[in-house]
């Protein structure tokens, strides 16, 4: 049975830690199957995290976005990265500017 993808987006200010993108789903991991992110007028780094209680744990490498630049992770049926089961998807941004982020995900 095929799953219906879900989507979420956020505009995350610079220098944020564990900014919420997708809330935890009890008993499910989140598999991110596509994403895009675009920084504002100043270069800004982004890292995606899996967050249970306490601080989130990085689940991607640091993604360095140039000023007014970004990254696109096209559809990948295997998923680009996963949260831990029952944990939220958050992002941490470096100093710079606000970053627009949109993801498509499955609850596994």
| pLDDT digits 0-9 by tens, 34-71 | 999 999 999 999 999 999 999 999 999 999 999 999 99
CA angle 73, 60, 4 (to 5 degrees): 50
| Residues 68 and 28: beta-carbon distance below 8 Å | no
Those residues whose C-beta lies under 8 Å from the C-beta of residue 28, and which sit 6 or more positions away, are 85, 86, 107, 108
What are the boundaries of each domain within the chain?
6-107
| pLDDT digits 0-9 by tens, 83-101 | 999 999 999 999 999 999 9
Note the CATH architecture for domain 6-107: Sandwich (2.60)
Which of these, 66, 64, 62, 73, lies nearest to 102 by C-alpha position? 73
Specify the pTM: 0.95
């Amino acid at each position: 049975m095929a799953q219906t993808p879900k989507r979420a987006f956020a505009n995350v200010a610079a220098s944020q830690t564990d900014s919420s993108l997708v809330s935890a789903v009890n008993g499910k991991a989140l598999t991110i199957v596509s994403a895009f992110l675009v920084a504002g007028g100043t270069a800004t780094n982004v890292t995606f995290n899996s967050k249970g209680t306490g601080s989130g744990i990085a689940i991607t490498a640091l993604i360095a976005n140039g000023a007014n630049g970004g990254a696109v992770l096209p559809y990948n049926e295997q998923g680009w990265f996963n949260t831990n089961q029952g944990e939220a998807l958050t992002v941490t941004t470096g100093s710079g500017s606000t970053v627009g982020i949109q993801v498509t995900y499955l609850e596994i």
